[in-house]
Amino acid sequence: MDLLVVPVPLFSEENIVEAYMFRYSKGNDLLSAAKEGIHFDGAMHSPLLTMLRVVGLDALTMGKPIFVPVSRLMLMTDLGKACDEAPEKIIFLIDKDVKGDATNVSNIRRLRECGYRFGLCGINNIVAYMPILELCDFIFYDQRIFGEQGQVKLRNQVASKFSHISCVYTDVNSMEIFQSARKKYKGLYEGSFYRKPFSEGDTKVSPLQINMINLLNKVRVDNFDFDAVAKIIRRDPALTISLLRMVNTGSRGRRNEIKTINGAVVMLGQEEVRKWITAAAANHLGSDKPNEITKLSLIRAKFAEALAVKFGLYADAQSLFLMGIFSVLDAMLEMSMENALNLVLVSDDIRTALVSHTGRFGDVYNFIVDYESANWAAVSRMLILCDLTPEVIYEAYVESLCWYRDMFTSDVPEEGEEAADAGRDG
C-alpha cells in the first residue's frame, strides 16, 4: 500500500492507553503533491479503513478503539460496510472542512445510529459547527497552541455548551507537560511524553530489573552457562511461567512435558534462549511503566530487524533488533540513556546510535523515531537516499505490528495458573 502510517496511543490522566489514532501520509511527501492531512481530499474511500480491514484491530491497537480520519465525501458513502470491526471500536474523526450543513449532519446522524462515534479537530470557533458538535463525542486540541487566548476561549465555549464532549490533547511531548496538564484537564493525551524518562537523575533500579539486566548480560556472551542462566530465571516467577509455557507449547506430542527450568533452557539451545530473553527483557524492564513502553520497544526491535537489509546492514539484523529493545531503556529505568546502557552489555554501534544517534546504526534509529513520530518529511528524504518505496516500509512496519500481536496473544497464562506450579525444579 502506498501509505506511510502509524497508530499512535492516546493516554488517560492515569497514564493508561484508552484508544489510538492514525498518523499517516499518502506516498512520499517529497515526490508527490499529496501531503499529510486529517483526511484524503477528494477520496470516496478510506485507505486507512482498508488497512484496518486487512491488518485487523488487534495488530494495530490490541483491541482498543481507534480514531479513523474521514472526509466529507467519505461520510456520503456506507462507511459501515467498509468496517469489519464492531462500531464501538471505530471513532470517525472529521475536521474543519466538514461544516454543519444539513447533508453532513444527516450523514453523521445515520452513522451514529449504527453505533459509531465521532471526533472533531482543527476548528477555531464553534459557530459553523454547532450541529456537528451536538453529534460529536470528542474534540481535539493542539497542546502546543492551547495556551493561546483563542484556544482557551474555544475550549471554555465547548465545555459550557457541550458537556458530553471529551477532550483529546495532542502533541504533549514531554512528561513534565503531561504531568502538569493532567492535573488541570480531564481527557486523553497524545504525544511522545511516554517515551522519555521523567527524571534523568540517579534512580534506584528495582531487584527484578537488576535480575533481568543480569540475565541479559549472561546471554550476550558466546557459549553462556545454561545453569547460571537457569538460576537467574528461577528468581522471577513470571519469567519462569513464560519460559515453560513457550517450551511446552512447542513440544506437544512428546511423552513428557518439560517441568524444570534447566531442562527448558537446554532444550531451547543458546540462540533461542538468547532471542527469548532479549524479547522478554522489554516486558520485564518496563513492568512498572505503561504497557505501551513494552509494545514500543518490541515493535522498534522487529522494525529495525526488518530494515537491516533495506539499509545495507543485513549481517547486523540481530544487533538492530537488540538496539530496538534498548531504545527506550532510559524511559524504563528513569535515567539517561548513557547511564542505562552502562548496566548492560551492548556493542559500540548500538551505544553510539542510542546515545548520540549517529554511527553505523544511526540512520536506522533515526528513521524509526521519525516514522513513529510521523515526521514524514524526514522519512521521505531517507526513502529517496536509500532508493526505497513507501510500500516496502509499509509492509515492514505492518509485519512488525503483526509479530507483536502474535507474540502476546499466543503466550498468555491460563486463568488460575500459579507461578509455583510452573517453577518446580527437578
* Domain match, 115 and 153 both: yes
* Grid coordinates of 425: 525444579
Provide the pLDDT for residue 426: 36
State the chain's maximal CA–CA distance in angstroms. 73
Residue 423 placed within a domain? no
Provide the pLDDT for residue 144: 80
* Domain match, 7 and 153 both: yes
Q: Domain holding 174: CATH number?
A: 3.20.20.450
Query: Three-class SS string for 171-217?
Result: CCCCHHHHHHHHHHCCCEECCCHHHCCCCCCCCCCCHHHHHHHHHHH
**Residue 77: DSSP 8-state:** S
d(CA 172, CA 178): 6
* Domain match, 185 and 321 both: no
> Which of 270, 279, 93 lies closest to 188 in space, CA to CA?
93
* Grid coordinates of 126: 464553534
* Domain match, 36 and 173 both: yes
Residue 357 placed within a domain? yes
* Domain match, 305 and 371 both: yes
Provide the pLDDT for residue 29: 65
d(CA 29, CA 187): 32
Provide the pLDDT for residue 211: 77
Percent of the chain with pLDDT over 90: 46
Angle ∠(15,21,23) on CA atoms, nearest 5:
120
* Domain match, 162 and 218 both: no
Looking only at the bridges linking them, the beta strands covering 66-69 and 90-95 are parallel
Angle ∠(195,275,192) on CA atoms, nearest 5:
10
**Residue 414: DSSP 8-state:** P
Residue 419 placed within a domain? no
Residue with cell string 496538564? 181
Give residue 393's Cα distance to chain centre: 16
Give residue 347's Cα distance to chain centre: 26
pLDDT tens digits for range 376-412: 999 999 999 999 999 999 999 999 999 888 876 644 3
d(CA 252, CA 289): 35
Provide the pLDDT for residue 291: 81
Residue 421 placed within a domain? no
Q: Single out the residue in 143, 169, 195 at which a domain terminates.
A: 195
Percent of the chain with pLDDT over 70: 86
First-to-last CA distance in the chain?
52
Residue range 67-73: average pLDDT? 93
Residue 415 placed within a domain? no
Overall number of domains in the chain: 2
* Domain match, 175 and 291 both: no
Give residue 395's Cα distance to chain centre: 16
* Grid coordinates of 283: 516486558
* Domain match, 106 and 223 both: no
Residue range 12-39: average pLDDT? 76
d(CA 203, CA 307): 33
pTM of the model: 0.82
Residue 75: half-sphere exposure toward Cβ, Cα within 13 Å: 31
Residue 400 placed within a domain? yes
Provide the pLDDT for residue 294: 84
Residue range 289-300: average pLDDT? 85
Asked if residues 229 and 220 have their Cβ atoms less than 8 Å apart, the reply is no
pLDDT of residue 420 exceeding 50: no
Instruction: Transcribe 329-390 into DSSP letters.
Output: HHHHHTS-HHHHHTTS---HHHHHHHHHS-STTHHHHHHHHHHHTT-HHHHHHHHHHTT--H
Provide the pLDDT for residue 338: 93
pLDDT tens digits for range 200-220: 555 567 777 777 888 888 887
d(CA 386, CA 391): 14
User: Where in the sequence is the domain holding 292, given as residue range(s)?
Assistant: 207-409
* Domain match, 354 and 403 both: yes
* Domain match, 271 and 320 both: yes
Asked if residues 407 and 276 have their Cβ atoms less than 8 Å apart, the reply is no
* Domain match, 128 and 161 both: yes
**Mean confidence (pLDDT) of the chain:** 84
* Domain match, 166 and 216 both: no
d(CA 426, CA 132): 66
368: confidence class by pLDDT, cuts 50, 70, 90:
very high
Residue 425 placed within a domain? no
Enumerate residues 6+ apart whose C-beta is below 8 A from 38: 69, 93, 94, 95, 121, 122
Q: State the virtual CA torsion across 81, 86, 87, 90 in degrees, nearest 10.
A: -90
Q: Single out the residue in 149, 169, 195 at which a domain terminates.
A: 195
Write the single-letter amino acid at 318.
Q
Residue 284 placed within a domain? yes
Residue range 94-115: average pLDDT? 94
d(CA 11, CA 192): 11
